[in-house]
Structure 1
Amino acid sequence: MINQNKHYHFLLVICCTMYVLSKMSVLCKYSFRISKFHTCPAQNSKFLTIVDHSLEQCVDECTRRTSCKAIGFKRLFRLCELYAHEISPAVTDKHCVMVLRNDMDERPTLCNCNDTSVCEEETGQCVQKECPPEQHFLNVTFRGNMNEVNANKSVKCHDGFFEVKNKNLERYATCSQFGHWIFVPQCKGTVQSFILEHV
């Protein structure tokens, strides 16, 4: 019985050691350096927030996306934020560190993915993960900052504009599995709003 217990503990130690080493190899696969301490990128270019990630995992998420130009990482909360721009003025935050894309090792290109999909190394396939930020839609207000597949944002025409079909009713846009927003209102202005916009 004692020999069986020793054998069991020996196997357990080996399995745990192999697990830790495999995790370390993933975390150390790509090197990076901290661009700025106590700083986060400007919030207006954030396109994805991921919880319960390490700094190394956050960098890995960024390097898998062509649209990611910087990360902000809050170690206290294990909060990973991905940003589409690095040229915006940075924000002071004592809990945050910023890593720019130029300070990350680039991973070998296995796939030719678009800005909102991620290359899965195991299969060499592009997987749609997000929808693009919606800033280019004219006269539409989006509420919410989540862009991943199946995320919802409330959408509404600006004051003085009306939705062609729904008469300014507030609706929800959903990020589809194909990487585009389902239901984006077509907002048209009244003559008065057109004049105010062009004065």
Structure 2
Amino acid sequence: MRYQVLISILFQISYAFSYVRVDNFEISYSITYESSCHAEKDRFLFKLESSIENCVKECSSRQHCQALNFRKGINVCELFSTSESGQLGRGDCLHVEKDDINVIQTPCKNDCKYGEVCETTDSGIGRCVIKECVNVTFPDHGTILGNQREVGKKNRYKCDKGYKEKNVTRATIAECLITGNWSANAECHKINYTWATWMDWSPCSLSCGSGMRTRVRICSIASENLSEELCQEGDNGSEEESCNKQKCPSPTIGNECTNDTDCIETEGTCIGGMCFCNRLYRYNTTIKNCTKVCQSMSNEFITHNNMHIIGFNIGADNMRENTIGDCESACRNNTECLSFDAGQGGNECTAGAVTYEMIKDADPGKLSNSPGYDLFTRKCN
């Protein structure tokens, strides 16, 4: 058992030392962790390579390379700008840290600057060139979509929810320029909201006598001006004010009249010398006006026993019918007929121009308890 543990420990910390000469580079290196992979974070180069030696040479030619993966199964070389020694995951990789690479000879006489790459020309002379944009600034409250850093490659900056790119409605596209700089850097600013314009005022609750009206506005306008009145997105603001403060004229419903113009209420009409609300309206004492209560009159009738409306017939002769049903049919077929009286023992009907409700709203004194008579009024749909 002791030997098995020892073998396991030796396997975990095994070292593979190698020497390679590639493109006028002389390099020795050791693979400290076999079958371990660096995470994709801070990867700046992903390219196909034929061997681990070429991958080591690519890292050796860059000061900004701190670690590499060589994926054995697919011959892919990955270079990283940071080292994560001790935090490697299992995988089919040969992983090499920059500290485990010793550059014995390089074709570049002077060390290339950070961000430059040492490459060999056809004449064997080394030169330092820029092939990647190394300095990537992750925006506060944002992220970068894409991890390609080669010249000509593009990445996208995306701001977190609740933040947006300054002066840009969409995420910023950044391209790696030949100078080694990115064409753009994102600045993610918290989205502040301010109030939209007020909507129109609602109709006044009263036509006179000081009613109330309201209006609303919605918190929905993105703003970068902190001097504006800020709000919480989705909130609604409202305010109200009094309206129609003029004194209400004396109501005319129930008063005497000679024509419709004497009845000042909306849909006021003169019937039999008295002001009523029109046939589809009733008088509302709160707003002191006629308000619509239905769309049309139904063909059904409501029976009011021992009740009689004094006057307000439609000017037609009494309807002489055989039954109450015949009276209903005759009233239903007359567009001006809203009600009729019928003697309980007789067959004579009197057609009326108002209903029970209209009389009740206008002048209850015109309603009479009349034994021997029943009042039939049209129903409102």
Q: How does 1:171-186 map onto structure 2 within 5 Å?
A: 171-186=172-187
**Ranges in structure 2 where 5+ consecutive residues have no aligned partner:** 1-19, 194-381
Deviation at 1:159, TM superposition (A): 1.3
Alpha-carbon spacing, 1:91–1:135, altered in 2? closer, same or farther (3 Å):
farther
Tell me the distance in 2 between the aligned counterparts of 1:132 and 1:25: 26
The answer for the alignment partner of 1:76 in structure 2 is 73
The answer for the alignment partner of 1:98 in structure 2 is 95
The answer for the alignment partner of 1:110 in structure 2 is 109
Deviation at 1:69, TM superposition (A): 1.3
Query: How does the TM-score come out when normalised to structure 1?
Result: 0.74
Deviation at 1:113, TM superposition (A): 2.4
The answer for the alignment partner of 1:146 in structure 2 is 148
Is 1:40 the counterpart of 2:42? The answer is: no
Confirm or deny: 8 A CA contact 1:111 1:125 kept in the other structure: no
The answer for the alignment partner of 2:163 in structure 1 is 161
Query: Which amino acid in the other structure matches residue 117 of structure 2?
Result: V
Query: How does the TM-score come out when normalised to structure 2?
Result: 0.41
Partner SS state of residue 55, structure 2: helix
Whose radius of gyration is greater, 1 or 2? 2
Query: Which amino acid in the other structure matches residue 22 of structure 2?
Result: V
Partner SS state of residue 58, structure 1: helix
The answer for the alignment partner of 1:26 in structure 2 is 22
Deviation at 1:52, TM superposition (A): 3.1
Is 1:128 the counterpart of 2:130? The answer is: yes
Deviation at 1:139, TM superposition (A): 2.5
Confirm or deny: 8 A CA contact 1:111 1:119 kept in the other structure: no
Partner SS state of residue 44, structure 1: coil
Tell me the distance in 1 between the aligned counterparts of 2:93 and 2:84: 17
Query: Which amino acid in the other structure matches residue 178 of structure 1?
Result: T
Is 1:67 the counterpart of 2:47? The answer is: no
Tell me the distance in 2 between the aligned counterparts of 1:140 and 1:132: 19
Confirm or deny: 8 A CA contact 1:111 1:124 kept in the other structure: no
The answer for the alignment partner of 1:87 in structure 2 is 84
The answer for the alignment partner of 2:118 in structure 1 is 119
Alpha-carbon spacing, 1:114–1:140, altered in 2? closer, same or farther (3 Å):
farther
Root-mean-square deviation over aligned CA pairs: 2.3
**Ranges in structure 1 where 5+ consecutive residues have no aligned partner:** 1-23, 193-199
Identity among equivalent positions (%) equals 29
Larger helix share, 1 or 2:
1
Partner SS state of residue 54, structure 2: helix
Aligned residues: 167
Deviation at 1:72, TM superposition (A): 0.6
**Divergent runs of 4+, >4 A:** none
Larger strand share, 1 or 2:
2
Query: Which amino acid in the other structure matches residue 114 of structure 1?
Result: K
Tell me the distance in 2 between the aligned counterparts of 1:164 and 1:29: 48
Confirm or deny: 8 A CA contact 2:165 2:171 kept in the other structure: no
Tell me the distance in 2 between the aligned counterparts of 1:140 and 1:184: 11
Tell me the distance in 1 between the aligned counterparts of 2:161 and 2:81: 28
Tell me the distance in 2 between the aligned counterparts of 1:52 and 1:124: 21
Tell me the distance in 2 between the aligned counterparts of 1:136 and 1:185: 8
Alpha-carbon spacing, 1:45–1:164, altered in 2? closer, same or farther (3 Å):
closer
Confirm or deny: 8 A CA contact 1:110 1:119 kept in the other structure: no
